[in-house]
Structure 1
Amino acid sequence: MSEWQELLSSNLVFNHIPFPIIITDKDGRVVWCSQHAERAFHIKLDEVKGELYPFMRQEKAAQFKASWEKILRSRNPVRFENMEVHLHDGTDTVTTMVAKAFTSGSTRYVMTLFELDEFEESNTAFQELTSLRDGLSDSFMMLYFDKDHLITYANPLFLKTSKWTPKRIIGRPVWQMFADTPEDRQFVESILNTLESGKTWTGEARKMKKDGESYWVNLTAIPMALPEEEKYYMFLARDITKIKQFQDHLEEVAFIDPVTGLENRHRLEQIVNNAIQDGRHFSFVYLNIDQFYTLTDVSDPDVENELLTEFTNRLRMYFSDTAITRTGIHEFALVTPLSDWFIEGFVPYLRQHPIYIRGTAIPITISGSITRYPEDQQSFVHLMKASHVTIDKVKSQGGGSIAALSPDDHGRLNRKALIEKRLMHALDRNNMQVLYQPQVDILTGRITGAEALVRWRDEEAGIVSPEELIPIAEETGLIHDIGLFVLESVCQQMKDWATRGINLHVSINSSVREFRDKDMASLIQEHLDQNNCRPDQLTVEITEKFALEAEAERSIIRQMMLLQQSGVTFALDDFGTGYASFRYMQLLPISELKIDKQFIQSLSQQEKMPKLVSGMIQFGKSMDFRVIAEGVETNEQFEVLRTLGCDVTQGYLSGHPVEAAELERWLKSAD
């Protein structure tokens, strides 16, 4: 022991200073402490001599290094307020610390005085924080790093999980804990930028163990501060590797086709949307195996999976830098940067590399489409729609080829996309109107009713006919809004006509989607009641497709029956163009039959057409239906229909669709 150390130990003045004093060497290792320090810190000089910063926890001591250098350089005492100190009984407290560097001989020392009453009980709130920190350390991986992003401390749980040792990571960049890829470096940079802005970062992170194995954690990164405005940062992490592996398995089940190993339809949408978000140009290729069920039926039933697997292998061999997905039983979609000529070359490639299953060549051909982003379509939904349009066209021409959108197809799809875009705007502005096309009794020539037809004149799309509007409205789900608009308009018009003694029968069109709403019948009845309209003056027109689907849904039939009981009638529209099934004639409350205009307009052009139309009329009569012929444009057609016994005609010969006021003038002039 040096002379000054012996002097300090025996000097009653130093031992009677009412604050703990600890003297350390320039490295922070204890060389002497006062009796007050022994009592306050629960230590013995002989036991702590040579220890590094015994008054601080390990992680705090590492953070205190910069402050220690400041003390050694300063000629004046350095004061630290609210300093956290660690007692050897395991508790912590907060105090003010004054440190002064001095030189004895050629050796540099630091004397530290703690303004700590050795008999003062530790602050209760601070004890709670200490307990909280100890609990976190037991439950979470903890990593401290300084403002230069160098690791200063790692708790035992982190070291155990990551397989790192303190020697290998203390003083090393925090980047070392993550994978060394551009994506990971960018990810870590975003975390550090958040911390440096003073904000906490939370989320999932992939980290690396010492042996190069990756693992996943739920990470909370927290910015901290020491006295003298020194900053440091802390990672709190919990291992979620097993959870991530389970999630990956679920995703694999959800997104991977078990037969081919390709990603499926759900994943395809993500791939396309990611490519769009990244601003990439690509071709969306849709492929359909021609006569697939015929191919699989002519051989063993197990040939289906073998055929799909072999076809997938050829896709993978031919297309590189391409995302390949299976979107249906025999449908595949690709997202690729490859050119059209190369994509179209897959057809001859298949011929050159035939698929053999059990020694038999399978004559496989495909129909495909190429839709470019962003030149052709700008969203996943529209890319899919365009693909189906092109493939339908290819198949109608015999299949066996891959085609891009033609200029005409492109124009039609662009107009459809424009209508979809503008439709919501039109409904919001109530920018539609209802026109009425008169229906004329073929014997008396009098107008007995009218069909309500929705018309839309848009400043961008121009005039949109029902033939364009209704299918798009059904696809987008806006058919309910349009149907409600027509119903409200018709009921209000019928009420207005009734005040002037005009009792005209009006028919409206409806879709099966509207009647899937269990309140549809109540909605129609409610509007009739509100406007004091007679139910027997309203007809609801349905298509054969509607009728066929309604067969299987008792709730739809029930609603139709309720409306029929109140007086509302139903007409079967476009008769002859749909499904050849008459079962729904017995199940549904139909009382009118409307022969489609394509038959009427061919009456004088095709020899057998009058006989066909006559059969339709006679069939309707046998079912006690009122028969209406649509699309009547010439006197010759009118005379044939009158001869065949048709009841009512509707078409340009009788009148174009007009506004209610003009129809009212026609009715008055007829009287």
Structure 2
Amino acid sequence: MDSAQLQHANAFLKLVERTAFVGVWMIDLVNEKLVWSDQLAALHGAEPGFSPSLEKAFSFYAPEWREKVEALVQACATEGVAFDEEMQIVTLQGRRAWVRTLGHPVRDDSGRIVRVEGALQEIAPHGYPRGTLLRHTVSMGGAMGSGEAFVTVDREGQFNYINEEAERLLGRSADELLGKKFWSSFQKTVRFRLEERFHAAVARNEGIEFEELDARVSTWLEVRGFPFGGGFAAHFRDVTARHKSEEQLRLLESSIARLNDIVIITEAGPFSAPGPRIVFVNEAFERRTGYTRDEVLGRTPRLLQGPDTQRSELDHIRAALEQWEPVRVDLINYKKSGEPFWVDLDVSPVWDSSRKLTHWVAVGRDISERKSAEEKIQYLAFYDPLTKLPNRQLLLDRLHVALSDQERPREGALMFIDLDNFKILNDTLGHQKGDMLLQQVAERLRSCVAKGDTVARLGGDEFVILIENSSAKPLEPAAAARIVSDRILSTLGEPYVLPGYLHHSTCSIGVTLFGKAPCSVSELLKQADLAMYQAKSAGRNAVCFFDPEMQALVTANAALAADLRQAWRENQFLIDYQPQVGPDGRMTGVEALLRWDHPERGRVGPDHFIPTAEETSLIIPIGRWVLESACAQLAQWAKRPERRHLSIAVNVSVRQFRHPDFVDEVMHAIAHAGIEPQKLKLELTESLLADGIEVTVAKMGSLKEMGVTLSLDDFGMGYSSLSYLKRLPLDQLKIDREFVKEVLTDANDAAIARTIIGLAQSLGLGVIAEGVETEEQRAFLAAQGCPAYQGYLFCKPLPIAELEKFMAAMER
């Protein structure tokens, strides 16, 4: 390699090292020797020339990586398996650095692996902060210094003159070398070759020139000799740096060719079209883009750009490079096939020794998989995976934007949509068909709205539509919402084709308008939700617009709920008892009636607070307390013979009955009080039969097995059917006061009363009428066969103390 070639090699090596930031290494498997570049030494915090043993080199890897890198090198050396891994090293200063370690085998002509070559590159993957990258360059100068080494040898090759520079290069004094053969300083494997060449040159009286490694001082020497005074005179020059540079250049060229990252080097031309031209690409470029080296050399990197390549990022690159500054971007590039792919692109300028810009180097890592994962995560964060609709978070974001634009206040409508009786489909046909229905609903909802409107799924069977007014929509929000609502009711009411099943479904829609007055996102959602529940209360398959009266009712209910919680904490509830009598007018028992002794409003009847107690689940602890109180009262009466026959009827709410611990709570109350179970009568409402009949029958059966008396309250109000009734383990039917009230004046009520009494007799059940206020009513019911009564004709509900007085008077 002449000086011009060396200068070119130096320039290329610096170019590659400056831009790729690579340190190289080689393991000579034949001589069992490790060679490091100065860049690699600098990466590990060592001075140039530092060349550790293989064991020491492995020790630089962080403990958690050491075993793996040893296995990778071993597999490469024995099986020819190349590797490219990201791991951590620990420098001599104790700093941890993330690096890419790559290596590949080198074989001789027979195919035997003789070397493992590789490179290290400091990186910053997965959000790690970039470290101080390796920026040292290799010292590749080998020019002769001012003092030249000079020796003379006789015809036998023995030194007879050595100057001071020669002593320094050879590492021994003249006294040690004079009289010794010059080839004795070199490796044993080359001594005979040098001796043979020397004697041949003497015989022919020719000059001699060679380069060999002085093994004792690990120095490459260039020797030029010529006949002189019957022997030879020779000039020595240290060319170790040049040999090292050439070796490193070969390693670098081989490593760059095998990098998985794309490397593109362009000339430093102007950025105006067509732009700097490509002068080098590596193998990774060909593999990843589909272009061959011959197809791209002389062209510009513009050939990788396409319709989705970000103009903003290209402008960012141009602005940075016009200032001769490095730049890093994530860019969409295109393969020769037209397929897009993402690259993490580093572009750096390269200068020569005179600070003249010579090249641009771009190193790009394919991050398509990472970008795909990021897009998936982004999608999952804002879209419902089942229906592909925007989810709650994206809806809230869009609502916030719509409500917070102070400069251009937006008007629109928010629609809350809930499928009617969706739970029945899930329970009977399974969640898979339920999911299919939700997907079809989502498609139908999309078809009902205009472009720019948002259809979102909040979860379950709840959907929300955001309609925003714009110049493209001439209708007012209220009119637009009405049209869209009617369209939705019609579209969602069409049959749904599910596998093996034709399903019919309807929905309830609540609508609220915004834009006229300030309103928060949460308030708007509450208003639409409230209007939707109003639509359900109106019979389902309907639309209801929010009005302030709804809000007032909600506010009142919220205040009532707060008062109920305080009442429970402060023991403001009490129980009144209303007697139940037989055909002879004697008391057979009482009904326990819950009252609220409000500190300001006085006695509050159950009709005013039981629905709210149900909604807030306070009915569970309150109902448990009533049950335990009734059992305790039965225990007291059991001690007195004249009252031992009395029973107590306790009303059980739907939510209380459906609580999973209800049967156990009844059993515990009976056992704790030590009463006869049949003296406890549980009055169940017909609404229990509206849903979950199998569970209802099973629980009633458990209570019946315990001996508890079961009565069906408010019979005839709309849920009962003979098919259900004959399956229930009942003891008694209770005629509702609404039928008793007009039994003498309304033929229908009289007919219903007669039917209930007859039905009870045919099923072998007892029957009792409540709300009996006149003797005429009692007489009519008695004539029809009703043997038991409850009402003001006999006694109003009384506190326990007054009831005791009433019973004492009757007993006298």
Show the counterpart of 2:805: 665
Change (3 A) 1:142 1:247: closer
Show the counterpart of 1:32: none
CA distance in 2, matches of 1:371, 1:460: 36
Contact 1:433 1:456 in 2 (8 A): yes
Show the counterpart of 2:647: 505
Contact 1:367 1:394 in 2 (8 A): no
Show the counterpart of 1:603: 743
Contact 1:394 1:403 in 2 (8 A): no
Looking at CA atoms only, which structure, 1 or 2, has the larger radius of gyration? 2
SS of structure 1 residue aligned to 2:682: strand
Change (3 A) 1:348 1:531: closer
- Match 1:438 to one of 572, 579, 582: 579
CA distance in 1, matches of 2:128, 2:90: 24
Show the counterpart of 2:530: 386
SS of structure 1 residue aligned to 2:558: helix
Show the counterpart of 2:129: 144
- Match 2:446 to one of 312, 331, 334: 312
Contact 1:162 1:208 in 2 (8 A): no
Contact 1:434 1:454 in 2 (8 A): yes
Deviation for aligned residue 1:538: 0.4
Deviations 1:604-657 (A, max 9, x none): 442332122111111112222221112334444334323333222223444443
Show the counterpart of 2:545: 403
Contact 1:547 1:584 in 2 (8 A): yes
Contact 1:594 1:630 in 2 (8 A): yes
CA distance in 2, matches of 1:306, 1:575: 41
- Match 2:587 to one of 416, 428, 447: 447
Are 2:675 and 1:533 equivalent residues in the alignment? yes
Deviations 1:176-204 (A, max 9, x none): xxx999xxxxxxxxxxxxxxxxxxxxxxx
Show the counterpart of 2:752: 612
1:610 counterpart letter in structure 2: A
Gaps of 5+ in 2: 1-33, 62-88, 102-121, 136-254, 267-309, 313-327, 334-339, 345-366, 405-410, 421-437, 492-505
Tell me how many residue pairs correspond in the alignment.
474
- Match 1:523 to one of 645, 661, 665: 665
Show the counterpart of 1:627: 767
- Match 2:510 to one of 347, 363, 369: 369
Contact 2:509 2:535 in 1 (8 A): yes
2:478 counterpart letter in structure 1: I
Show the counterpart of 2:784: 644
1:316 counterpart letter in structure 2: A
Are 2:675 and 1:544 equivalent residues in the alignment? no
Show the counterpart of 2:330: 209
Are 2:416 and 1:286 equivalent residues in the alignment? yes
Q: Does 587-596 or 369-378 show the bigger shift?
A: 369-378
Contact 1:371 1:386 in 2 (8 A): no
- The correspondence of residues 131-280 of structure 1 with structure 2, limited to 5 A, is 140-141=125-126, 143-144=128-129, 153=133, 209-211=330-332, 241-244=371-374, 254-257=384-387, 262-263=389-390, 267-268=391-392, 271=395
Deviations 1:436-486 (A, max 9, x none): 232233x32233222223233456998664335444444444443232122
Contact 1:574 1:594 in 2 (8 A): yes
Deviation for aligned residue 1:88: 5.4
CA distance in 1, matches of 2:51, 2:666: 83
Contact 2:651 2:682 in 1 (8 A): yes
Change (3 A) 1:343 1:440: same
Contact 2:510 2:529 in 1 (8 A): no
Deviation for aligned residue 1:382: 5.4
CA distance in 2, matches of 1:277, 1:428: 43
- The correspondence of residues 340-351 of structure 1 with structure 2, limited to 5 A, is 342-347=477-482
Show the counterpart of 1:565: 705
- Match 2:553 to one of 393, 397, 412: 412
Deviation for aligned residue 1:282: 8.4
Deviation for aligned residue 1:551: 3.7
2:687 counterpart letter in structure 1: K
Change (3 A) 1:406 1:390: farther
Contact 1:57 1:85 in 2 (8 A): no
Show the counterpart of 2:10: none
Change (3 A) 1:544 1:375: farther
Deviation for aligned residue 1:670: 2.1
1:343 counterpart letter in structure 2: A
2:446 counterpart letter in structure 1: T
2:560 counterpart letter in structure 1: I
CA distance in 1, matches of 2:49, 2:769: 98
**TM-score between both structures, scaled by the size of structure 2:** 0.47
Gaps of 5+ in 1: 1-41, 62-83, 94-123, 146-150, 168-178, 182-206, 218-236, 291-303, 357-364
Relative contact order, higher structure (CA 8 A, sep 6+): 1
Change (3 A) 1:540 1:353: closer
- The correspondence of residues 14-93 of structure 1 with structure 2, limited to 5 A, is 57=43, 89=52
Contact 2:415 2:528 in 1 (8 A): no
CA distance in 2, matches of 1:215, 1:493: 79
Contact 1:377 1:383 in 2 (8 A): no
Deviations 1:58-81 (A, max 9, x none): 9x99xxxxxxxxxxxxxxxxxxxx
Contact 2:330 2:343 in 1 (8 A): no
Change (3 A) 1:606 1:344: farther
SS of structure 1 residue aligned to 2:620: helix
- Match 1:334 to one of 451, 459, 465: 465
SS of structure 2 residue aligned to 1:552: helix
CA distance in 1, matches of 2:672, 2:572: 24
Contact 1:307 1:355 in 2 (8 A): no
CA distance in 1, matches of 2:372, 2:555: 48
Deviations 1:69-127 (A, max 9, x none): xxxxxxxxxxxxxxx9996545779xxxxxxxxxxxxxxxxxxxxxxxxxxxxxx9987
CA distance in 2, matches of 1:92, 1:635: 105
1:496 counterpart letter in structure 2: Q
Deviation for aligned residue 1:521: 3.0
Contact 2:467 2:477 in 1 (8 A): no
Deviation for aligned residue 1:591: 0.8
Q: Does 527-536 or 418-427 show the bigger shift?
A: 418-427
SS of structure 1 residue aligned to 2:129: strand
Show the counterpart of 2:627: 487
Deviations 1:142-197 (A, max 9, x none): 6536xxxxx965999xxx99989999xxxxxxxxxxx999xxxxxxxxxxxxxxxx
Deviation for aligned residue 1:335: 4.3
1:432 counterpart letter in structure 2: F
Deviation for aligned residue 1:315: 1.9
Deviations 1:331-386 (A, max 9, x none): 85334676996224443578999999xxxxxxxx9974334799799679955652
SS of structure 2 residue aligned to 1:436: strand
Contact 1:509 1:540 in 2 (8 A): yes
SS of structure 2 residue aligned to 1:387: helix
Contact 1:415 1:461 in 2 (8 A): no
Deviation for aligned residue 1:570: 0.3
Show the counterpart of 2:78: none
Show the counterpart of 1:230: none
Deviations 1:278-335 (A, max 9, x none): 9979864235899xxxxxxxxxxxxx99998566334224xx5655559888x85334
Change (3 A) 1:353 1:210: closer
CA distance in 2, matches of 1:85, 1:472: 83
2:535 counterpart letter in structure 1: I
SS of structure 2 residue aligned to 1:579: coil
SS of structure 1 residue aligned to 2:701: helix
